[in-house]
A and B are shown apart, each in its own frame.
Chain A
């Protein structure tokens, strides 16, 4: 147990922080109930996918600045394809958009490997390209989403054998998030490929000398990032019912949550659980500040302060640990 705690210390701390925040929320707003939790889960959904996308790449020792633009592109593609189309057509749209994200992500990886240009620059250039493509697909916010897709993240999951009061705390959006992430992450984490991703993040040279196909692994890591970003784009379309070509604040948020979630920038450390919990923490802080009727602009300041303070604290702890 103590071994587990030490290894997962950061994540455990985050969980504790999340619980404290829930208690604080309940104190501020005694009426905070399952409905509010459901809307929190829905608000978290696109952020969580953005963070997952960033996490995979950061673990592999890179960074992806094109996450938000990729979400915008996939979101407008999905929304414009579904506009005026039948409900069944969306069954085709979803896999198509996911595949698109995967391929565009792989393109990121291929460009990094082939051109040998630093990842920051490649994904920065791709940010412009994807943004432009999103504007070409849809010049202004518009499009539509299939009803069943929208229904997929609203409401709660009826679990047979449980009283309604418990059911109410399991929003569909949370289930969608958990299922989507687990389907990709758990097999990955247990596979050789997952190990390779961690390996190239820890030390590219050591990984190469132990026979890890570095280039291929890097491309796959970026492709997975694209896949998660496409899920995020779909989540955006699902929750708003439209697609917007201008990317939201997801890039900054994804980097912040990755760092807060205990994934070292530089690679090779951390998991997916920490960043996802971190997203919940960050969103809940925002909810609390809104409930306290604090000016939304001050909220931005506080969020920034939290981010900087947490990162400084984390860096300080690692420094102490090293000495």
Chain B
């Protein structure tokens, strides 16, 4: 009996890299982000400096928070398309109410529609079992209508951006955008909630197998209602931050962020069918999209070509990412 040593066949390097990346899905995303920044630097040498980074982060934060709403709702197999409307509403109400009211009162007034829309979304999806896509589209339609009616009543009083929000949205201290003061705890809270708390685990459970979750005693509608209210409140806060950044209240302020927020969550590896994903990937996804937008702006292409490239890159990145993660 010759003892043939059972040495495992050497795994080819390419395969090993692939497996390594599949185990840590964040790494290919960060590599992509770095590649994009390098391309940017090559195209326009010297552009990547402290100021540029601060600026990119400033614009990525609102997108990242909204993408957080999408991540959480997508974990349960849903989606929240009303975030754009909610953010716009809270921003617009804040900017118009602060003219005559105490900022704290204006803040409460601004968050009211957010809570309300979240509650309606949650009841529709959780109790009546309406498809989240339809439910949130419907409430966003209602919200936009209400906002237009509201606009008529305040057209005389004008609008102003509270100094605090402008400081938070655009200010930079020691090279760090002030918005990070809000965002870092918020992001930490979302990551912590998803990974370590019972509520977070319930979200994954509901998305993975709703029936099993309900049969094991989870009150589905309560989870969903709490989820959509959280998502709406986050969107409302985003609106306040965004108005400080853009400084021009309008009725479609945050609308252009909705579809990119879905894209950011998807690029970040959250499954749109629920049960899989997390917030850290989404943050990188939001950064990738923001850098990508800068890149496309710098290339000075016509608007049309820019949109085409944006769409194609989102599709390509998502497809490539799925390949890497699923080919185990």
Contact = CB atoms under 8 A, between A and B. Distances in A.
B318 A117 contact: yes
Interface in B37-89: 79
Given A265-B131, A297-B149, A126 B311 contact: yes
A318 to B, nearest CB: 8
A117 B138 contact: no
A234 B15 CA distance: 50
Given A126-B311, A128-B314, A129-B311, A265 B134 contact: yes
B202 interface: no
Contacts of A116: 319, 322, 326
B307 A132 contact: yes
A210 B94 CA distance: 58
A245 B318 CA distance: 27
Contacts of A305: 142
A111 B312 CA distance: 11
- Sorting the interface of chain B by its residue count into under 10, 10 to 19, 20 to 34 or 35 or more gives 35 or more
Interface residues of A, number: 48
Contacts of A135: 302-304, 307
Interface stretch (A77-85, A219-227, A307-315): A307-315
Given A121-B318, A128-B310, A304-B142, A315 B148 contact: no
A115 B266 CA distance: 14
Given A265-B134, A300-B148, A133 B304 contact: yes
B133 A301 contact: no
B273 interface: yes
A148 interface: no
Nearest to A116: B322
Interface stretch (A8-16, A182-190, A252-260, A271-279): A252-260
A316 B130 CA distance: 9
Contact of B124 (A63, A132, A302, A308): A308
Contact of A297 (B79, B148, B304): B148
A118 B306 CA distance: 23
B145 interface: yes
B139 interface: yes
Contact of B135 (A295, A303, A311, A318): A311
A103 interface: no
B134 A255 contact: yes
Contacts of A245: 304
B224 to A, nearest CB: 13
Interface string B286-328: 0000000000000000111111111110110011001000100
Contacts of A136: 302, 304-305, 308
A314 to B, nearest CB: 8
Given A117-B315, A255-B133, A256-B134, A129 B308 contact: yes
A222 to B, nearest CB: 15
Given A124-B262, A297-B145, A305-B142, A252 B315 contact: no
B302 to A, nearest CB: 6
A255 B152 CA distance: 29
B263 interface: yes
A127 interface: yes
B240 interface: no
Contacts of A122: 315
Contacts of B326: 116
8 closest A-B pairs by beta carbon, nearest first, are: A128-B311, A132-B307, A135-B304, A301-B145, A300-B145, A304-B141, A136-B304, A132-B308
Interface of A: 63, 111, 115-118, 120-122, 124-129, 131-137, 139, 245, 252, 255-256, 259, 265-266, 295, 297-305, 307-308, 311-312, 315-316, 318-319
20 contacts: A115-B315, A116-B319, A120-B272, A124-B262, A128-B307, A132-B304, A134-B304, A135-B302, A139-B302, A252-B137, A252-B141, A255-B134, A265-B134, A297-B148, A297-B149, A297-B152, A298-B149, A304-B138, A311-B124, A315-B130
Given A115-B322, A311-B135, 12 more contacts: A111-B315, A115-B319, A118-B273, A128-B311, A132-B305, A132-B307, A132-B308, A252-B137, A301-B145, A304-B141, A308-B142, A315-B130
